[in-house]
Amino acid sequence: MTTGSEASARRLRVAVVASVSPASRRELRLREPRIDLIDLDGLVPTSRFPGDFAGDPAHSLDGAERKRFEELIAQADALFGIPDSSPEELARTLRRAPSIRWVHTMAAGGGAQIRAAGLTSAELDRVVFTTSAGVHGGPLAEFAVFGVLAGAKHLPRLLAQQRAREWTERWFMSRVEGRTALVLGLGGIGTRIAELLSALGMTVIGANRSGAPVSSVSRVIRLDEVVDAARTADAVICALPGTDETEGLLDERFFAAVRPGATFVNVGRGSVVDEKALIEALESGRLGFAALDVVGVEPLAADSPLWGLDRVVISPHTAALDVDEEARIVQLFAANATRLLDGLEPVNRVDTVNFY
């Protein structure tokens, strides 16, 4: 993008290729009047359910509609969303439309989509990529707390006894106060998780790439120290992005090191976890409970052993969604549009080396 007075004098032609409501498009113009929206009505799939920014996959364009779509996209300076949520389509679009200088992904982990597009160094240099990181911090942190509490309060046993209409003798439940949580990843989501768990009286150890201190975290370690830290944790919460560095980080060594009966929660990326090692840790009883919002391959295969494990709660990658999600993404995009038009650095810019 341009900078300084030249930037502040220009306007920004935006193609909204994500499936969002007409109200959201109006809100974009209200929040940043220098945005000009390119009319793609009828050319972008409509959403099927809340948070369905990709839209209906059955939507298709005939030859004339495809030509019209490409002509309109070629006029854009920026994309709000990724066409068809497809990395391949993103690459084709950027090569057909050299005017595009900014792409915003609807996902917090949009860096993975950028990486999968296989863009050249020149294309990565030409375009500013930003994500919706931070938008989902609150909902995901609440799910993480739910998972930690569900493990401590023996939710699977309670549900089993209720289904069996069985009123047993009383038994000890665990507490979270005074226990230790290991939070892997201390970005916006991980930091919010640490704040909530700390407020519940837990001692929070956090892991990030640098080891730099973070509020509400009593001790920060580097990612290469997570196996040793696992030995002290009553609950492990993964909020790591999916990168080359984190792929398979939580492996057999890690799960063998966790404190017996510990709870595991994943609100990061499934690629961080060696799923075979996770299943073995659950089947052996090494892990007492797992709450999973993400898995390695989504949707989770019908024959996955995870479905049949009593001490597992599976969320279909929906813990980040709430009724205000779209509005928060719109606000973030509009604020970044203002920053870019005024020659300032946007927030949530993708690191196109590590892609997060």
Which residues form the catalytic set? 269, 298, 317
> Are the C-beta atoms of 195 and 208 separated by less than 8 Å?
no
Query: Which pair of tokens denotes residue 279?
Result: 């299943």
HSE-CB of 188 using CA atoms within 13 angstroms: 16
Residue given tokens 């409509």 in the structure block: 46
Contacts of 70 (CB under 8 A, 6+ apart): 96, 97
SS3 291: strand
**Nearest partner of 38 among 69, 10, 7, judged by Cα:** 69
Q: How far apart are the first and last CA of the chain?
A: 20
CA distances from 270 to 27, 38, 60, 221, 246 (A): 34, 36, 30, 22, 10
H/E run at residue 70: helix 63-73
> To the nearest 10°, the Cα dihedral for 96, 329, 320, 128?
40
Tell me the longest C-alpha to C-alpha distance in the chain. Answer: 74
Contacts of 189 (CB under 8 A, 6+ apart): 108, 134, 136, 137, 140, 141, 239, 267, 268
Distance CA 145, CA 240 (A): 16
| DSSP code for 21 | -
> Are the C-beta atoms of 214 and 220 separated by less than 8 Å?
yes
> Are the C-beta atoms of 117 and 172 separated by less than 8 Å?
no
